[in-house]
């Protein structure tokens, strides 16, 4: 799917606003990810050229932080918390079940482009452990058996 010109125009606005500012690379990348959903190579090149820096600089930052995705991600991003509190309460089994139900590995996107599975750092909702997030929705006190119903809600929403 070609990325629309509209998105590139938005990116150019962000680049113009950040050019010459302190810490511009990271903020521009964050904004670019909001616009495109991920930061592919041509977006990185555009940022580097626009900000007057090198591609290696931009690529270095984009690959350093786990927030930035270089590949397209699914419509729903599932983040299963692997913080300590969740881990000791069995979040590994929850993650395994999510992978099994969707037949996809951690870090990958389902073939239909609907879900991307991630193991995340502590989400800070330890009181509800084990926890996972699907986009902005938080699901707590999980057991592997609750997973199919939760996933179905998103599948049927299509």
Partner 1 sequence: MDLFRSTILVCGGTGCTSSGSMKLYSRFEELLAANGLEKEVKLVRTGCFGLCAAGPVVIVYPEGAFYSHVKLEDIDEIVSEHLVKGRVVTRLLFKDADQAANEIKPLDDINFYQKQKRVVLRNCGVIDPENIDEYIAFDGYKALAKVLTEMTPQQVQEEILASGLRGRGGAGFPTGLKWKFAMGSKGKKYVCCNADEGDPGAFMDRSVLEGDPHAVLEAMAIAGYCIGSDEGYIYVRAEYPIAVKRLEIAIEQAHEYGLLGENIFGTGFNFDIHIRLGAGAFVCGEETALMNSIEGKRGEPRPRPPFPAVKGLFEKPSILNNVETYANIAQIILKGADWFKSMGTEKSTGTKIFALGGKINNSGLVEIPMGTTLREIIYDIGGGCPNGKAFKAVQTGGPSGGCLPASMLDTPIDYDNLIAAGSMMGSGGMIVMDEDNCMVDIARFFLDFTVDESCGKCTPCRVGTRRMLDILNRICEGKGEDGDIERLEDLASSIKASALCGLGQTAPNPVLSTIKQFRSEYEAHIYEKRCPAGVCKNLMKYVIDPEKCKGCTACARKCPAGAISGEVKKPHSIDTTKCIKCGVCMDTCKFGAISKK
Chain residues in the site for partner 1 (CB under 8 A) = 22-27, 29-30, 60-61, 64-68, 82-85, 87-89, 93, 120-129, 131, 136, 138, 140, 145
Quick one: which of 80, 75, 62, 76 has its CA closest to 121?
Answer: 80
Whose tokens are 């084990």? That residue is 130
- Give min distance, CB of 66 to partner 1, in A: 4
Quote the distance between the C-alpha of residue 45 and its chain's center. 21
- Give min distance, CB of 43 to partner 1, in A: 16
The residue (of 109 and 120) whose beta carbon lies closer to partner 1 is 120
- Give min distance, CB of 116 to partner 1, in A: 15
* Pair of tokens at residue 149: 């119903």
Distance CA 157, CA 68 (A): 27
The residue (of 143 and 152) whose beta carbon lies closer to partner 1 is 143
């Amino acid at each position: 799917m070609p990325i629309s010109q509209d998105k590139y125009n938005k990116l150019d606005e962000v680049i113009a606003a950040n050019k010459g500012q302190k810490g511009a690379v990271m903020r521009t990348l964050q904004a670019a990810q909001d616009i495109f959903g991920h930061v592919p190579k041509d977006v990185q090149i555009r940022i580097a050229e626009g900000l007057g820096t090198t591609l290696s600089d931009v690529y270095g930052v984009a690959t350093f932080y786990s927030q930035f995705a270089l590949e397209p991600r699914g419509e729903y991003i599932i983040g299963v918390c692997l913080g300590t509190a969740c881990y000791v309460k069995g979040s590994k089994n929850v993650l395994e079940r999510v992978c099994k139900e969707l037949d996809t590995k951690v870090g990958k996107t389902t073939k239909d482009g609907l879900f991307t599975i991630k193991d995340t750092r502590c989400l800070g909702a330890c009181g509800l452990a084990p926890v996972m997030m699907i986009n902005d929705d938080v699901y707590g006190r999980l057991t592997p058996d609750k997973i199919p119903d939760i996933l179905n809600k998103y599948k049927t929403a299509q």
